[in-house]
Chain A
Amino acid sequence: MKKRILLYGLAALGALALIGVAWADEGGTVVNGTSSVGAHLTTSTDVFGKVGEFYSDANLEKFQADAAFSLTGATDQSLFDLHGRYFDKDTKSFGFTADAAGPVKVRFDYQSFLHNLDHDNLENLQTSEATADGSIAGKKVFHHDLDPLGRYSLQYEKMTGGVEYDLASIREGKAYVTYTDQRRHGWKQTLAIDHCAFCHVEGNRREIDEQTRTWKAGIKGKLGRVAFGYEFQAQDYLDHADSPSRHWSYATHPGAGDNFAGAPDLRARLQFHDVTLPYQVGPNTEKRTHEFTAKVDVNARNTVRGAYSHARVENSNNNLSSDFDGFAFGWLARLGKSSRLTARVLRYAVDVDDAYVDLNPYRDGRGGGGQDFDWTRVSAANRDVWQADMVFRTKLAKRTHLNVDWRHKVVDRDAMNQTQTNYYPDPDTGTNIADPSHPIANESTTDRFRATFFQRFNRKGNMRLTYAYTHVDKPFMNLTGICEPSLRGEDHTLIGNPATWYFQRERVGNATSLPDEVHQVNWRSSYQVNPRLSLNAFVNAQWESNDSMNSYSLDRDIVTPGVNIWTAPNDRLMLTMGYAYNRVKSNAKFCPPLFGG
């Protein structure tokens, strides 16, 4: 907090110093602006948080002073802008930009607002199993809200400051430094499930105190025909709040308790129970990025661009890290007076550390137990990507353009999915054989063809129509992730272990929410009927499908039309009105296990 006050103070002093320097200049100084002072009274009925999602209830039923100002000034050698607004202690903003005498530009911006969050009272999670005669049986779905009167909200603050310096020795040369500080703090609801999974859901409050600090420093300019740029970025994400903790229940039968003979075996199948542990632990990460860009005007008709970026993210909580390396190259050719061709190639690789998951042996000390389920998680984020784009733009007539483009993208993953470690009985040897977890690779190929038609109606308006078709071969999916076939009549018990019917029932259904085929149409138009009436309209529509899965066919239709009218019937009256509609229709496969244990 003291560092923040110091930073605000320095920013304000900087602004005043710049304005002072500007006013000290000989010659005329022009300043104009507005300043407002007032008050407001907020009252509410019933639930405040949803209807007033971005309003503060700090001074409900009381008068709150508010103020705003906006100032623009210029001297012979400098320009400056200042603005500020105070609505209440949670909702305020302040900023300035100054282009002072000489090569220095300074800017600063601060804004703050409150976001009220929901409180799910979980009352829909309350039911019991019934027997054939309607009497209540043992299995239940229930909830506990440990913070029933809790009101949750997050305060969001963002501060950005930057200095830019013109480098006289380099054509269009600039060096710059910026700092951005974002914070979210407050309280939100957190949900946890116990050993009976979604049969027992517990709600409580969790403190949020997150900060993202970003430093950027860079240089850019032109040397001969080459425009270059380099930027270094250091970004830290910090979770200042303590993680919440809770007590996981003593594991036993939900109805019969320890009178159930199988209760000790139930406990032996768990990694932990009857213990207090933290949950929802937030990460602390550091990200460092280097980016180089270059653009060369080869001749009057050809331009090439290139870029290289390297980023490394490290999680200081678990020492896992990931690396990103990317190259981009583009070539723009002016084929004539009316046509232009652009070709781009992008290649990037993401490398994420493996994570070793160390588990207690399954049913350790029990007959036929002791299986080792340790496994190494290979991240699905690991991938090599190649992408090529070709764009052809031509002028069909004086006010008519046509763009056609094609994108080809290949995403190669070593571990799109990963199997679970399993054991199966081998009747030949009379022993149980381990089937270790292993990653499943996948290569996805996407082709997108798109055409855009653009028409200008003299100076009255314009129209833009786009059609795109996308086909994806082997989209990202969860292989054998859903739907278990019946095991009735089949014996899956291990040799020497009749207590375990199965470790993980085999699932047979492939599932994804991503399409392998998309048709997309976008149309928008604006037209000025006369100086007192203008119209805008748009329609966006998208049809997605995926018939390549063995469990269901995905269909998703999205349509969004809208219209806007502006009119000024006379010199004193202006009217604006409009309508927007959106519908998303998608399908889902239901495979609900009820009281599955």
Chain B
Amino acid sequence: MRDYTSEYNVWYASADLQASDRFHFLFDMNYTKSTGSFESIGVLQPVDGAPANADLDYSMINQYSDLDYQQIELTYGVNFRVGRASRLYGSITYLDLIDDQPYVYGDLDGSLTIVSTGMTVGF
């Protein structure tokens, strides 16, 4: 019998600042670290009648199914009021995933950047 443990840690923070009548700033952050692992099986005891070349060292096998990911997501945005009912907006979102155990599914490292801009009108 061996233990399997999965864990995740999530930190998040956001800020909303109405800096002036015209400028409004937004910030959002999210960081997740998640892992999964088996306890080591160790070296097994010989069994009567087992083949002479049997390898009873299972101490590393648990590492083949380890999972370890880190992901961060950052968003920074600004709104600028141009008129009584209209404003311009712009934001940048950055996501980054780091795969610290690429053995099982291949290396899944990747990052994404999204830059947005536009105008909002109220009526």
Note all chain B residues with C-beta closer than 8 A to A589. Answer: 1
Taking the nearest CB of chain B, how far is it from the CB of A559, in angstroms? 10
- Contact status of A576 and B13, CB under 8 A, knowing A31-B123, A38-B117, A583-B6: yes
A42 and B15 alpha carbons, distance in the complex (Å): 24
Give A436 to B50 CA distance when docked, in angstroms.
34
Given contacts A38-B116, A552-B1, A32 and B123 within 8 Å (CB-CB): yes
Min Cβ gap A545→B in Å is 13
Are B3 and A585 in contact (CB-based, < 8 A)?
Answer: yes
Q: Is the CB of B116 within 8 A of A33?
A: no
Q: Pick the residue among A46, A119, A130, A581 that contacts B111 (CB under 8 A).
A: A46
Is A590 part of the binding interface, using a Cβ–Cβ cutoff of 8 Å?
Answer: yes
Is B59's beta carbon under 8 Å from chain A?
Answer: no
A45 at the interface (CB under 8 A from B): yes
Residues in A neighbouring B10, C-beta threshold 8 A: 579-581
A578/B7 in contact, CB under 8 A: no
Given the interface pairs A574-B15, A577-B12, the reply to whether A44 lies near B110 with Cβ below 8 Å is yes
Checking B97, B103, B117, B122 against A51 with a beta-carbon cut-off of 8 angstroms, the contacting residue is B97
In the complex, A50→B106 CA distance in Å?
Answer: 12
What interface size band does chain A fall in? Answer: 35 or more
Q: How many residues of B contact A (CB 8 A)?
A: 52
Interface residues in chain B, defined as those with a beta carbon under 8 Å from any beta carbon in chain A = 1-19, 38, 41, 49, 52-53, 64, 71, 89, 95-97, 99, 103-123
Asked whether, in the complex, the Cβ of B4 is within 8 Å of the Cβ of A50, the reply is no
A38 x B7 contact (CB < 8 A): no
**Cβ distance B103 to chain A, nearest Cβ, rounded Å:** 6
Question: Nearest residue in A to B107 (C-beta to C-beta)?
Answer: A47
A556-597 contacts to B, CB under 8 A, are 571-590
Q: Out of A33, A47, A130, A131, which one reaches B108, CB within 8 Å? A: A47
Enumerate chain A residues within 8 angstroms of B99, measured Cβ to Cβ: 50
Are A586 and B3 also in contact (CB < 8 A) when A35-B120, A47-B107, A132-B52 are?
yes
Tell me the A residues contacting B by CB distance below 8 Å. Answer: 31-52, 55, 66, 118-121, 123-124, 130-132, 486, 488, 552-553, 571-590
A588-B4, A590-B2 known; A578 vs B112 contact (CB < 8 Å): no
Chain B residue with Cβ nearest A566: B14
Does A584 lie within 8 Å of B53, measured CB to CB?
Answer: no
Q: Assuming A36-B120, A583-B7, A590-B41, what are 18 further A-B pairs, CB within 8 angstroms?
A: A34-B123, A36-B118, A41-B115, A42-B113, A44-B111, A47-B109, A51-B108, A52-B95, A120-B105, A132-B52, A577-B14, A578-B13, A579-B12, A581-B8, A582-B7, A587-B1, A587-B4, A588-B2
Q: What is the CA–CA distance of A480 and B53 in the complex, to the nearest angstrom?
A: 31
Nearest-neighbour CB distance to chain A for B79, whole angstroms, equals 11
In Å, the complex CA distance between A583 and B96 comes to 23
Listed from nearest, the 3 A-B pairs whose CB atoms lie closest are: A38-B118, A132-B53, A51-B97
Find out whether the CB atom of A583 lies under 8 angstroms from the CB atom of B110: no
Instruction: Indicate if the CB atoms of A55 and B116 lie closer than 8 Å.
Output: no
Task: Tell me which of B12, B103, B104, B111 contacts A578 (CB under 8 A).
Answer: B12
Chain A's closest residue to B108 (CB) is A50
Across the interface, which residues of A come within 8 angstroms of B112, CB to CB?
Answer: 42-44, 48, 51-52, 55
Instruction: Note all chain B residues with C-beta closer than 8 A to A39.
Output: 116-118
Q: Which of B6, B14, B108 interacts with A576 by CB under 8 Å? A: B14
Q: Can you name the residue of chain A whose Cβ is closest to the Cβ of B103?
A: A124
**CA of A586 to CA of B99 in the docked complex: distance in angstroms?**
24
A34 partner residues in chain B, CB cutoff 8 A: 120-123
CA A290 to CA B1, docked complex, whole Å = 48
**CB proximity of B12 to chain A, nearest CB, Å:** 6
Whose C-beta in chain A lies nearest to the C-beta of B98?
A51
Can you spell out 29 A-B residue pairs with CB atoms less than 8 angstroms apart?
A33-B123, A35-B120, A35-B121, A36-B89, A36-B118, A38-B119, A40-B117, A42-B113, A44-B110, A44-B111, A46-B109, A47-B107, A47-B108, A47-B110, A49-B110, A55-B112, A118-B105, A121-B105, A121-B106, A124-B64, A573-B18, A574-B15, A577-B12, A577-B14, A578-B11, A578-B12, A579-B11, A586-B4, A587-B3
Cα A582 to Cα B121 with chains together (Å): 43
> In the complex, what distance in Å separates the CA atom of A39 from the CA atom of B118?
6
